[in-house]
With several copies, the nearest count.
Chain A
Amino acid sequence: MTTFSLLLTTSPLASQSFASALQFCNAAVAAGYQIEQIFLYQDAIFAASAEIDLPADEPNLSQLLAVFCQQNHIPLLYCVTAAEKRGMLDPGSSFIGAGLAEFAMRLTNSKLVQF
């Protein structure tokens, strides 16, 4: 059965991409598929800090995604190189810093879906 890798590249506030990725993951897990990784690249890395400090009335897609990944044991990774270029320090959230090499290796046995 297919295993998916997800790649996100836009910031959680910018667009519907985080919501769509979560929607896809829910349906994929419900249908019995495995998810190898969710990898945040480019501006998507800002989700790692957005998880922590959003106002209460703001939809917190970063947090929803983090909770989903925790419950389903899915590695939720953000690219440390992309984060460095943006001056984002490890915010100590449930997102895990990883290199592009880790993304590349995890890709090997999975099918990439870009959001």
Chain B
Amino acid sequence: MQHIAIIQRQSPYNSSGGREALDLTLALAAVEHQLTVIFSGDGIYQLLPVNLNNDFSLKRYQQGFKLFGLYEIEQLYICQHSMQQRQIQLKDLAFAAQQLDAIALQQLLAKQQQIVCI
């Protein structure tokens, strides 16, 4: 069992990164690793709402964030600097996570054994 941080840096539909980082997160948690997920940069756009009712031909994979609880992934964080830069507030998010400043993020990463950045 290891402490692993996944840093989500991609916007939801500009690459397969967000979706495949989620798959990876769940797979790592399933074999008892301790996961921490950090949304940074354009990755925080993944947490904004998605309309489920209109025509859209890509997978709205963000629904999968609801599985975090089931996989006992509770360490969910957002980079405060990235939020401010993009004029996004916590109330704008469809999926909640805790905002952290630079010092708290650095302390969080210092506790990890592995870091994956996608």
- Nearest A residue to B28 via CB reads A104
A101–B31 contact, CB under 8 A?
Answer: yes
A94 within 8 A of B: no
B24–A19 contact, CB under 8 A?
Answer: no
Partner of A41, one of B13, B24, B56, B114: B24
- What is the total number of residues of chain B having a CB less than 8 Å from a CB of chain A? 26
What B residues does A15 contact at CB under 8 A? 13-16
> In whole Å, how far is A37's beta carbon from the nearest beta carbon of chain B?
13
Residue among A7, A9, A85 with most chain B CB within 10 A: A9
Within 8 A of A (CB), among B39-68: 56-59
Within 8 A of A (CB), among B1-45: 1-2, 4, 13-17, 20, 23-24, 27-28, 30-31, 33
What A residues does B27 contact at CB under 8 A? 99-101, 103-104
A7–B116 contact, CB under 8 A?
Answer: yes
B116–A112 contact, CB under 8 A?
Answer: yes
B88 within 8 A of A: no
Across chains A and B, the number of contacting residue pairs, with CB separation under 8 Å, is 64
B96 within 8 A of A: no
What A residues does B2 contact at CB under 8 A? 107-108
B23–A9 contact, CB under 8 A?
Answer: no
- Chain A contact residues (Cβ within 8 angstroms of B): what range? 20 to 34
B94 within 8 A of A: no
Complexed CA–CA distance, A42 and B21 (Å): 9
A16–B33 contact, CB under 8 A?
Answer: no
A13 within 8 A of B: yes
B104 within 8 A of A: no
Complexed CA–CA distance, A91 and B37 (Å): 34
B93 within 8 A of A: no
In order of increasing CB-CB distance, the 6 nearest A-B pairs are A100-B27, A104-B31, A112-B114, A19-B57, A16-B13, A104-B28
A-B contact pairs, 23 of them (CB 8 A): A9-B118, A14-B15, A14-B16, A15-B15, A16-B14, A16-B58, A19-B56, A19-B58, A42-B17, A59-B58, A81-B23, A100-B23, A100-B27, A100-B28, A104-B33, A105-B31, A107-B2, A107-B28, A108-B1, A108-B2, A111-B113, A112-B4, A112-B116
